[in-house]
Structure 1
Amino acid sequence: MDLARLRTLRELAVRGTMAAVAEALLVSPSAVSQQIALLEGEMGTALVERRGRGVVLTLAGARLAEHAGAVIAILEEARTDLAAMRREVAGELRVAAFPSVAASLIPHAIRSASARYPALRISFEELEPAEGLAALRAWQADIAIVDDLTTAGPADGRIELAHLLDDTLHVMLPRGHPLAARPFVGLGDLRGEPFALDNASRDYAAVVVRACREAGFEPVVNGRCEGFEVVRALTAAGCSISVQPGLRATGDDAEIRFRELRPAMTRCISAAYRRGEARHPAVGAFLAALNDVVGAARREERLPTPGPPGPATAPTASGR
């Protein structure tokens, strides 16, 4: 059996659509269909069937995808074993992270690890936490940065987490906003305020909307943006307010004020990797670089230190 075709089938089982598989593998959807068709010919049975405009795996396809996952896992474990035996930090390491971490921590970690280990090639992809976990499971990433606010976390035992930091959410306000004079702001204080949401991070935006609803009001959204830059511009101009991660709250400036939410909304940010791969020299080296960067940022006060929680904690993606 052709390993590339098995990997394509496994990707389809994880990602669900031909288009998503094509995007992950950097090929065209027709190339994905061709790989599946060749594998069906090799196996002598149908592996997918049409459902409306999409496809689903047949029973045989689902079973073969399970075996493909096991085979690929064994090969990855062999790669890790050999790398651990060599104790050489080299080769390619694929890292995924969501925007606020990607902007504040990842560049420093890549620079540090690359300077220390010149033979290590680090590639980065910006992915939301759920997408990063999917990339890990599909062997498209080696480390994914995730949080417990937008994802329930891995539950299948194949993924391990290493805690990096806790991040407390802040309200981002125009400089002259009345709430900017307060040391803290409650969600209820934002009733009737015009919100700008970053829809490039849809899961995070959904968390903010859900938290407002649980605080007893429907947020008035006057800005649906595809990135933090526009959210910030709307806020600076006095058009909107926003709720942003603490990683974005690097201090007040001439246009913007950040105020911590009370009761606190805090998320736990972790590095996720496949079980057992922390012993891979490249994975271990990058995890160490990440922790060094977090520690240095704390010492230099480039990361806000979470204050004491209020009388209640915020809801998470699991509904708490």
Structure 2
Amino acid sequence: MDIGRLRALRELSIRKTMAAVAEALHVSPSAVSQQISLLEQEVGIDLVERRGRGVNLTIAGRMLVERANRIFTELESARADMAELKEVVAGELRVAAFPSVAAAFIPKTIRALSATHPQLLVQFDEMEPEEGLNALRSWQTDVALIDDLNIPPGLLDPGIETIPLIEDVFNVMMSPNHRLAHMEEVTLGDLSGELWVIDTASSTYTRVLTDACQNAGFTPNIVARCKGFEVTLSLIREGCAIAIFPELRASFDLQDARVCRLVPEIRRRIFVAFRKGEKKSPALQAFIQSICAHTTDFADPPAA
């Protein structure tokens, strides 16, 4: 069977539509449809069935994807073995990470790797944890930084391995002139009457925030929803709203803003995720070693 056609089928099992697969593989939807049709001709059985605008895999399609997963894992493992024998860290490593973690660690890691391994090129894409994990599953990236709020460990594929990177806590951010700005610690109850701004990049973040406030006896009055930190920070500085953000994000670029510790704590664990078959890849090992070294500057190491 053709590897490219198997890859297209595997992508379809994840992304559900021909258009989404085409975007991921950088081809046209008609090319994807043709790949699937040719694969069906190869195996002599229907692999997909259309349901409205989407596509579902048949029993045969799901069985073939399971086999394809093992095939791709073996291929990546073989590639890692060959790279290990070269004893040279070289080539290209694709990395996906979400903004707060990326800003804290990725630039320093890339700079360190370029100095120690000049033949290694790191390609970076900013992705939210769920998006990064999907990219990892579909071989669109080699490494994904994820957290346990967006990706509970029990939902990880068996073919994905993780290494704990760091634990992060959430802080309250407000204007320096806010009535609570003089306090070192703030409870959610203290914030019950406040106006809130939230980052809408992650629906999980909104859910965690809302659930925490409701457990404290109130529903947050959200008056601003932003896709980027720049607008959010401007609203906070001008006293238009307050926000809760991870400590990693609150560790820089915060002139004219006050950060207070939230109690009780809301924490998240951050992991480096990669495909198990590539664990021995010299490039992957170099990246993990470098990024782990740069987390030592932060106060909350991962729990044992």
Q: Which amino acid aligns with 2:80?
A: T
Q: Equivalent residue for 2:280?
A: 279
C-alpha separation between the residues in 1 aligned to 2:18 and 2:246? 34
What is the DSSP-based 3-state SS (H/G/I as helix, E as strand, rest coil) of the residue aligned with 1:279?
Answer: coil
Contact 1:185/1:261 (<8 A) preserved? yes
Secondary structure in 2 aligned to 1:105?
A: helix
1:306 deviates by 4.7
Q: In the alignment, is the contact (CA less than 8 A) between 1:95 and 1:125 conserved in 2?
A: yes
Q: What is the TM-score normalised by the length of structure 2?
A: 0.93
Q: Conserved in 1, the CA contact under 8 Å of 2:128 and 2:201?
A: no
Matches within 5 A, 1:72-87: 72-87=72-87
Separation in structure 2 between the aligned mates of residue 166 and residue 105 of structure 1, nearest angstrom: 14
Whole-angstrom distance in 2 between the partners of 1:140 and 1:241: 37
1:143-158 to structure 2, matched below 5 A, reads 143-153=143-153, 154-158=155-159
Q: TM-score, normalised by structure 1?
A: 0.88
Alignment of 1:152-171 (within 5 A): 152-153=152-153, 154-171=155-172
Taking structure 1 as reference, are residues 74 and 288 closer, same or farther at Cα in structure 2, changes over 3 Å only?
same
Tell me, yes or no, if the aligned pair for 1:96 and 1:125 is still in contact at 8 Å. Answer: yes
Query: What is the total number of aligned residue pairs between the two structures?
Result: 300
Secondary structure of the structure 1 residue equivalent to 2:181 = helix
Q: What's the secondary structure of 2:93's corresponding residue?
A: strand
**Structure 2, unaligned runs of 5 or more:** none
Could you tell me how far apart the structure 2 residues matched to 1:91 and 1:138 are?
A: 20
Q: Which segments of 5 or more consecutive residues in structure 1 lack a partner in the other structure?
A: 308-320
Q: SS of the residue aligned with 1:205? A: helix
* Larger RCO: 1 or 2 (CA < 8 Å, sep 6+): 2
- Which residue does the alignment assign to 1:8? 8
CA distance in 2, matches of 1:40, 1:194: 56
Regions of 4+ moved over 6 Å:
none
- 2:49 is aligned with 1:49: yes
The 3 A distance-change label for structure 1 pair 253 and 273 is: closer
Question: Shift of residue 263 of structure 1?
Answer: 0.5
Secondary structure of 2:251's counterpart equals coil
Q: Which moved more, 1:268-277 or 1:56-65?
A: 268-277
Please tell me whether the aligned partners of residues 89 and 120 of structure 1 are also in contact (alpha carbons under 8 angstroms): yes
Residue by residue, what CA displacement relative to the aligned partner does 1:257-316 show, whole Å, maximum 9, x if unpaired?
Answer: 011110011111111112253321000000011012222xx1xxxx4x359xxxxxxxxx
Alpha carbons 1:252, 1:258 under 8 Å: kept: no
Partner of 2:130: 130
Q: 1:253 to 1:39 in 2, by over 3 A?
A: closer
Report the counterpart of residue 206 of structure 1 in structure 2. 207
Note if 1:18 corresponds to 2:18.
yes
Partner Cα separation in structure 1 for residue 139 and residue 164 of structure 2: 21
The answer to whether the 8 A contact 1:175-1:254 is kept is no
- Equivalent position of 1:174 in the other structure: 175
Q: For residue 139 of structure 1, give the secondary structure of its aligned residue in structure 2.
A: coil
RMSD: 1.8
